[in-house]
Amino acid sequence: MNTSGASIRVRDIQASLEQFAHPSLQESYDNCGLQVGNPDQAVSGILFSLDVTPGILLEARERGCNLVVAHHPLIFGGLKRVTGGSDVERCVAFAILHNISVLAVHTNIDHVMGGVSWAMAERLDLHNCRVLQPIEGRLRKLITYVPETSLETVREALFAAGAGAIGFYNECSFSFEGEGTFMPGEGAHPALGSVGKRHVESERRLEVLIHDHQSASVLEALFQSHPYEEVAYELLALQNANKSIGAGVMGQFLEPLEPAQALKRIAEAFDVEVVRHTQLTSKPVTKVALCGGSGSFLIKTALRQQADLFLTADLKYHQFFETEGNMILADIGHFESERHTPALMMRLVKQKFPTFGPCILANTKTNPIHYFIR
């Protein structure tokens, strides 16, 4: 039951997760967000799962949860009818009938620091981690001009809105002194100077980096905190790679491991009995690249960055030839690489709503792949 004393709604849970992994970071083919349900519905409990299946929805109802938060979307492609002709249609009908909302947080949480691949790196105890393939073209530079006396007020407001984050650093900015002139016209209400007279003011040029999806909120903070009636600013699109977002992770073992030891570490960390891999190289494994889910598109990136081993899932037969003996490819399975994601999402929600309950991990097994071991 909700012990917070206040009603937590579906939109509140969605906002808390999307604050961490903004929906604009999802791939173009993806379908993140609320898929079934009313965003204003009060939440009685949350079941966290990797997938949405009939068994998951039945478990949610039996355990008093009217919100399922899943990594994989229930509705991925187009849904033209709900007649019970497929599991997806039956899930949608069941969820509507029993007032269960379904929320998906998929490739957007794949692309953020602290997301799916970062949780994999944590399981392997990798160090010096960074984004393997940063996304380009998602950064903006905000430039504004502020009176000396208001510099700290404006800068703090921009930081509070999320500006100034670069990789592992926050509150990054640059400023230098200058001189601004302006002459208020009729109808103006200047904070400094007088109507009809040119005014000279000692100002600071203030620069901060922002993510593109923060533009509206950061500009609002600028306008609210700036003393001028008309705020001079520039918002510039940058081609710089944003090292805070992107696909995969590169990290290092503290001590080099022999290839067989590295595979054993992987099998134990992800609790798997089978690891598909290329022929083992003769050199020790120190640098490890990884990507949760289907990460074959990063093979060449991992090779260029001289990874000793690349861990992912869903590799095809011919892709195992692509390393040409220069790097070990290891495939633990899609479900196995992402099975920790529900716990990650639950932790994010509980950080935002520490007294809300129940927040529970699903017991229902959803992995459609089974292994016969001779």
Q: What is the pLDDT of residues 356-365, one digit of tens each?
A: 989 999 999 9
Confidence of residue 77 (pLDDT cuts 50, 70, 90): confident
The tokens of 350 are what? Answer: 């509980």
Looking at residue 330, its pLDDT comes to 98
What distance in Å separates the CA atoms of residue 247 and residue 38, rounded to the nearest whole number? 32
Looking at residue 6, its pLDDT comes to 62
Residues found in the chain: 374
Looking at residue 5, its pLDDT comes to 45
Sequence-distant (≥ 6) Cβ neighbours of residue 15 within 8 angstroms: none
Instruction: State what percent of residues in the chain have pLDDT above 90.
Output: 92
- Which has the higher per-residue pLDDT, 255 or 373? 255
What distance in Å separates the CA atoms of residue 123 and residue 340, rounded to the nearest whole number? 9
83-117 pLDDT, tens digit per residue, is 999 999 999 999 999 999 999 999 999 999 999 99
The pLDDT of residue 2 is above 70: no
The pLDDT of residue 3 is above 50: no
Helix or strand holding residue 287 (H, E): strand 285-294
Select from 167, 117, 116 the least CA-distant residue to 139.
167
